[in-house]
Amino acid sequence: MFSEPGLYLVYGYVHMNKVYNPSDSDAWRALQKLAMEYRNDYILDYFDGDSERVDHYSIDLDGLYADFSKHLINDEIRSHLQQLAEHSPLYERRDAMFAGESINNTEHRAALHTALRDPDFDNEDVATLVVKQLQQMSDVADKIRTGRWLGVNGDPIKHIVNIGIGGSELSPKMALEALREFADTELSFHFISNVDGEPLKTLLGRLDPGSTLFIISSKSFTTKETMLNANTAIAWFEQQTDIAEPLGAPNFIAITASHDAALNLGIPESQILSFSDWVGGRYSLWSAIGLSVCIAIGPTRFHELLAGAEQLDEHFMHAPIQENLPIQLALIGIWYNNFLNAESLAVIPYCERLTFLPDFLQQLDMESNGKQTTLTGSLTDYDTGPIVWGQTGTNGQHAFFQLLHQGTRLVPVDFIGVISDAMSTDTHHRTLLASMLAQSAALLTGEDNEQPHQQYPGNKPSTTILLNTLTPYHLGMLLALYEHKVFCQGAIWNINSFDQWGVELGKRITTELLNNPKNQTLDPSTKALLKRTNLD
């Protein structure tokens, strides 16, 4: 096992002078054989052989419950999956991450988002910085919520426009929608990310500049999409107010890890909220990037969100492997991805307020683990991240569930439900939950029918995750659960889950197309399309 701290290297892990490769391990080879042996088993037979299977294959943690008994996994398979995890760098990379070591080797920095929700973090400098940044965010949120943050004309803020992209937009939008039960109804929130000019133009046409606050969220403060939208908003504000230096007005706030870049652009010191460069974009909700959420639900509730995530962090760090929820969910995913040839994962929340959760998890998973290069720079000889997709139920039942039930592809499903929901009526909520449970049951059991087109094969796997309530605390737990699940899979695959170099090439070519459309190195198709779209 990888148990010696001295074996941790900047560019990967070695054991007895051998580079770690999961597909070379005994556990991996055993799982390949087990896949051939058990792939045609019926999951229902596992219940017949174990009357307590639900208890053995479920975990209950402080208002978050996960049932993974409906999977094509038996005790022998689970044992070898756990061996795969235990003989991988998972534990060492986990400990290194929580300790603040530079585990993001290609960008030479830590991935220390967990420190943002840990009031007792062991590094005093980091802990002090986190407290300072969170306090600044809380102070700004309080002033806006109480009407003490005034716009350029002396009007209280009524509209908050978050301009960002990726995690700087999707994370707070997802969380704010999920927690609108707790949001201040006197404030309206808007999110702009796409460089398509229509959404911003339409939005600006409805806003009063004096009572609008623009939050420009960019880690580098050079992100092209964000700065293009920000410059459009700045020009509109200047035109509407006749102010020569609009960024000096209290109607603009910068959230960035590049403090000086925002300052040089003209945003006053008091209107710049900082976070550290060790906070990755898709892990940034817990930082100042979550300002719009903190404004909406208030600092107290925002700290409950952090507390829920911190509870899951503690569980991940200390729970034994068979009771460790993120590890178990990660291993289930690896079983299907690497041994049963399932290429995708469907995430179906049965709660309309979680409408953006599948999008959020798609970014979290596919941007983190969509990699073909290991920590040592070699190409993998195994598949890594799955294709993640989904939609809220019951809408999904009338869209793609046909494929899940009677299609030819193996698609594991994560069902996510809320047991008690004060935002719904009893009749609606009972129907919603019954629909979710019925779909998971139908996928599992199927149904025989003499008519082939009405035959349900069943034996389709799913996990059901239940939250007692959709509070900030439980949302924090749920999001941290998926963060750590993705991390566990990346560690077992020996890839860096914290960079995203794959998006850079397209960005560079965009710049080249705009600046030099006559570039002769372009392929013939792109040259023809440039001409047809009048970009040449």
- Residues identified as active-site: 367, 398, 507
Helix (H) or strand (E) holding 416: strand 413-418
Q: Which residues pair with 527 in a beta bridge?
A: none
Using DSSP's 3-state secondary structure scheme, residue 272 falls into: strand
Cα 15 from Cα 92, distance rounded (Å)? 12
The residue ranges of DSSP E strands in 259-335, in sequence order, are 272-274
Q: Is 411 left (phi over 0), alpha (psi -120 to 50) or beta?
A: beta
Cα 435 from Cα 162, distance rounded (Å)? 35
Using DSSP's 3-state secondary structure scheme, residue 254 falls into: strand
Can you read off the two tokens belonging to residue 183?
């949001």
Q: What is the dihedral of CA 318, 322, 327, 331, to 10 degrees?
A: 170
> Which amino acid makes up residue 388?
V
Can you read off the two tokens belonging to residue 230?
């920000």
Task: Calculate Rg over the CA atoms of the chain.
Answer: 25
User: Is the torsion defined by CA of 147, 263, 281, 494 positive or negative?
Assistant: negative
Using DSSP's 3-state secondary structure scheme, residue 405 falls into: helix
Cα 58 from Cα 72, distance rounded (Å)? 14
How many CB atoms within 10 Å of residue 35?
Answer: 17
Cα 309 from Cα 471, distance rounded (Å)? 12
Instruction: Count Cα neighbours of 109 within 13 Å in the Cβ-side half-sphere.
Output: 11
Can you read off the two tokens belonging to residue 267?
């945003």
Rounded to a whole number of angstroms, the distance between the first and last alpha carbons of the chain is 58
